[in-house]
Amino acid sequence: MSWLVAMAALSAQAYEVRVDDAGQPLRWNQMPLSYEVRLDGAPDGITSEAWHKAIDESFASWTGVEGTRVLFNPLGKVDAPGSSIADGQNIVWFDTEWDDDPEVGMRTNVWVTQAGSPVGFDIRVNATMDWSLTGDGFDAQAALTHEVGHVIGLGHSDVEIATMFYALGPEEAFRRVLSEDDEEGVLFLYPHVDLEAPAFLSCNQTGGVPSWITWLLLPALLRRRTNPHQGGAQ
């Protein structure tokens, strides 16, 4: 059983961060965050090497902001293709049986225990979409960079040029690069000091349609999805 708890947003400049009922920002308190990539099911037209590069660079975009402590540790490809996707696994994977709105490109979940300790995250990519890494169409790396912003606790921004703007349109590869607003958000959440323990969100990113952001809290013991293709907060 899981609890779905609506959280308020703390606005600082144009970006938003997620906060708990006490008004405290929700963020990771330990770095680096390791992650794996499962490429089986990835759409044709983009090589495995290009997918790995795009995914790793999307995470790395958030580590280069001066004065922050955001760090990631890429572990490479999951060793067992076809294995189940487990909560707490920290994984980017491709869903070939996408049962959400077909215009939703990606969904990010970060799970926490009832006590507020993080247990992991996943970024689920809609494998039925026609993704691009060449600047035309919907840019996969820009979308992934947006989702990583949600992983670390950022909500959506009102700044139209920001990576964390609520929608991704075609030919918007410029969102791979963080805007000043994005950098201010990560500086607020992750200065070089110890911060309080985290909790996190589920995000639907669409090609032009605003998305709802919710927070998914779990009991102290992890739950495991019985169907790895039904992982979003409903």
Residue 211 lies in a domain: no
Structural domains in the chain (count): 1
Give the per-residue pLDDT at 26: 72
CATH number at residue 188: 3.40.390.10
For residue 227 the two structure tokens come to 């169907």
Give the per-residue pLDDT at 8: 31
For residue 124 the two structure tokens come to 């689920």
Give the per-residue pLDDT at 20: 57
Q: Which domain holds residue 185?
A: 3-200
Residue 72 lies in a domain: yes
Residue 98 lies in a domain: yes
The CA distance from 115 to 127, in Å, is 34
Facing residues of 71 across strands? none
Cis peptide bond N-terminal to 191, omega within 30:
no
Give the per-residue pLDDT at 203: 57
Residue 233 lies in a domain: no
pLDDT in tens, the chain (234 residues): 222 222 233 333 477 876 655 566 778 878 899 999 999 899 988 999 999 999 999 999 999 898 888 999 998 776 554 445 555 578 999 999 998 888 889 998 877 666 555 678 899 999 999 999 998 889 999 999 999 999 998 989 999 999 999 989 999 999 999 999 999 999 998 987 544 434 444 455 544 433 333 333 332 223 322 223 233 332
Residue 90 lies in a domain: yes
Handedness of CA 138, 142, 145, 147 (dihedral sign): negative
Give the per-residue pLDDT at 200: 40
Residue 217 lies in a domain: no
The CA distance from 172 to 136, in Å, is 8
Rg value, the chain, Cα? 16
The number of angstroms, rounded, from the C-alpha of 232 to the middle of its chain's C-alpha atoms is: 12
* Number of alpha helices (DSSP H) and beta strands (DSSP E) in the chain: 3, 12
Specify the 3-state DSSP secondary structure of 153.
coil
Give the per-residue pLDDT at 112: 67
